[in-house]
Amino acid sequence: MDGIVELQRQLIDYTASLFHEGFLDEQFNQLQQLEDENNPGFVVEVVTLFFEDADRLLNELTKALGQPSVDFKSLDAHVHQLKGSSSSIGAHRIHRVCISFRNSCEEQNVEGCLKNLQQVKHEYSLVKDRLETLFRMEQQILNAGGSVRR
């Protein structure tokens, strides 16, 4: 029993740190609140969809910026999508970089876009790592017979 309590405390602390460091925002809380015993995997499911979506979009963005003549309109459309989906799951830092990225697109600033792309990739890998850790911790608690939802 103590083991589960300790794990739950660690999970709470870890989750709090992700909010504190700006990786996640209120929208992530929203998603967690939508989960219940009948839909236990909802957050993992949505976040997984986000990862797949982000992988695809980052590929597209990399390709688009590798073209001899950059199609800023298409670039912007992809950033817009990434901005939207990151916002929908509460991936706050990715969302913010996407805002800058869209500005670079609007200015047709290739250097700016390249920098933003690097930033997005970096933020994506950070939050992905954090969320995967979070989910692992939750699974550990569930496997031990504990619960993770408020």
Partner 1 sequence: MDSNGVVSWPRMPENMDAFALSPEQSQEVHVLAVDDSLVDRKVIERLLKVLACKVTAVDSGLRALQLLGLLDEQKMASETFVGLKVDLIITDYCMPGMTGYELLKKIKESSTFKETPVVIMSSENVLPRIDRCLEEGAEDFIVKPVKLSDVKRLKDYMTTKEVRGESQDREGNNYKRKLLDTSDVSPSSPPSISSSTLPSSPSVIDSPIRRLKMTSTD
Q: Which residues bind partner 1 (CB under 8 A)?
A: 27, 30-31, 33-34, 39, 42, 45-46, 49-50, 53, 77, 80-81, 83-85, 87-90, 95-96, 99, 102-103
Hey, what are 126's tokens? 């950070």
In the complex, minimum distance from the CB of residue 49 to partner 1, in angstroms, rounded to a whole number: 5
Smallest separation (angstroms) from partner 1 to the CB of 6: 31
Give residue 58's Cα distance to chain centre. 13
Whole-angstrom Cα distance, residue 7 to residue 133? 13
CB of 7 or CB of 64, closer to partner 1: 64
Residue 66: its H or E element: helix 42-66
Is the CB of residue 99 less than 8 Å from the CB of residue 79?
no
**What is the C-alpha to C-alpha distance for residues 118 and 12, in angstroms, rounded to an integer?**
31
Q: How far is the CB of 86 from partner 1 (least distance, A)?
A: 9
103 or 140: CB nearest partner 1: 103
Least Å distance between CB 59 and partner 1? 14
Nearer to partner 1, 102 or 130 (CB): 102
Cα–Cα distance for residue pair 83/59, rounded to 1 Å: 15
